[in-house]
Amino acid sequence: MAQNPRILVTRRWPEAVERVLAERFDASFNVSDTAMDAAALAEALRSFDAVLPTVSDRLPASLFDATDIRTKILGNFGVGYNHIDIAAARARGIAVTNTPGVLTDCTADIAMSLLLAVARRAGEGEREVRSGQWAGWRPTHMIGTKVTGKTLGIIGFGRIGKAMAKRCHFGFDMDVVFYNRSKIDTAEASRYGARQMDTVEEVLAAADFVSLHCPGGGENRHLINAQRLAVMKPQALLINTARGDVIDENALIEALENGTIRGAGLDVFEAEPNVPERLRVLDNVLLLPHLGSATEETRTAMGMKVVENVTAFFEGRQPPDRVA
């Protein structure tokens, strides 16, 4: 490996991973754990051989315009990388890696948690008990909608979409239909108890629950817009653990306010960490602060994947998870 590459870790990572990074590299850590702004990121690109960003770092094309960039690799902590302008990084000869595979189950678990919680009104119930407002059991109290046996519609049948299908079909006897850009082998889909449909609209029209598992950014921005929300059943629930920009958030708020759909469970938002007040006041939504991969096991595994990618790069090998 080249002598001690200088690397910057933009947020605090699990201790075990920071320890390995400190052993292998000339590593700088963001001890205050505050999100870095554009000026700080531009400075980082000038000063470090590798920058290891997360979803809280915005790396648009303009940051790659500078003439004095030292960074040769962005080792992203996370599978999604729509916060990085990949084309601009590639044009500057900067490698980009991500962390697929290790967060599949935990992200599907959070999607399942949202689906169950929003269907059974767990957020509302919890708020009622905590506020001392619970007046006692009664047959008509806080009635939700049944999950078992319903139809799940998945948008994006990659690793996480498949893991969600598996949970819903084999755990909750659900009929699973999905939309995916490319054709999935029928036998492969049926291993997850799922059936591919030709259009997003067909899936939206068929589903009692819609769960988004496609990448954010690019052509998926506002994939779920006012027109498509109107195609969903009025009793349907929308679950998003993918990226906030896959949904037109204003259109969703209107649909939730007007009863176009029954409710939503959201782990991601268009302008994180800002969640619009109009969304926060609604009772028919369950809101989580981007917890998809937030388990000890997974966050450590994600960090170790970045270590593998960056180590391979500086040893002159192909990083296993190179996306640019």
Q: Which one is catalytic: 83, 121, 169, 290?
A: 290
| Nearest-approach distance from CB 77 to ligand 8YV, in angstroms | 5
**Catalytic option among 243, 249, 262, 270:** 243
Q: What angle do CA 302, 181, 163 make, to 5 degrees?
A: 40
d(CA 282, CA 145): 18
Confirm whether 243 is a catalytic residue: yes
Catalytic option among 159, 272, 308, 322: 272
Q: Which stretch binds ligand 8YV (CB under 6 A): 24-32, 78-86, 185-193, 197-205?
A: 78-86
Our finding on whether 82 is near ligand 8YV (CB under 6 A) is no
Nearer to ligand 8YV among residue 59 and residue 152 (C-beta): 59
If the CB atoms of residues 214 and 229 are measured against ligand 8YV, the closer one turns out to be: 214
Tokens 């306010």, residue located: 257
Least separation in angstroms between residue 6's CB and ligand 8YV is 21
Number of residues in contact with ligand 8YV under rule CB under 6 A: 9
Task: Specify the residue, 102 or 255, whose C-beta has the smaller distance to ligand 8YV.
Answer: 102
Smallest distance, ligand 8YV to C-beta of residue 273, A = 13
Name the residue nearer to ligand 8YV (CB basis): 52 or 118. 52
- Residue placing its CB nearer to ligand 8YV in the complex, 184 or 302: 302
Shortest distance in whole angstroms from residue 213 CB to ligand 8YV: 11
Burial of 135 (0-12, 13-18, 19+ CB in 10 A): exposed
216 lies in the binding site for ligand 8YV (CB under 6 A): no
Binding-site member from 21, 36, 41, 79 for ligand 8YV (CB under 6 A)? 79
103 binds ligand 8YV (CB under 6 A): yes
Shortest spacing between CB 10 and ligand 8YV, in angstroms: 10
- What is the 3-state secondary structure of the chain? CCCCCEEEECCCCCHHHHHHHHHHCEEEECCCCCCCCHHHHHHHHHHCCEEECCCCCCECHHHHCCCCCCCCEEECCCCCCCCECHHHHHHCCCEEECCCCCCHHHHHHHHHHHHHHHHCCHHHHHHHHHCCCCCCCCCCCCCCCCCCCCEEEEECCCHHHHHHHHHHHHHHCCEEEEECCCCCCHHHHHHCCEEECCCHHHHHHHCCEEEECCCCCHHHCCCECHHHHHHCCCCCEEEECCCHHHECHHHHHHHHHHCCCCEEEECCCCECCECCHHHHCCCCEEECCCCCCCCHHHHHHHHHHHHHHHHHHHCCCCCCCECC
Q: Identify whether 219 is a catalytic site residue.
A: no
Please say which residue, 184 or 246, places its beta carbon nearer to ligand 8YV: 246
Q: Which residues inside 263-302 make contact with ligand 8YV, applying CB under 6 A?
A: 292-293
Q: Is 80 in the site for ligand 8YV (CB under 6 A)?
A: yes
Which residues are annotated as catalytic? Answer: 243, 272, 290
Residues within the interface to ligand 8YV (CB under 6 A): 54-55, 77-80, 103, 292-293
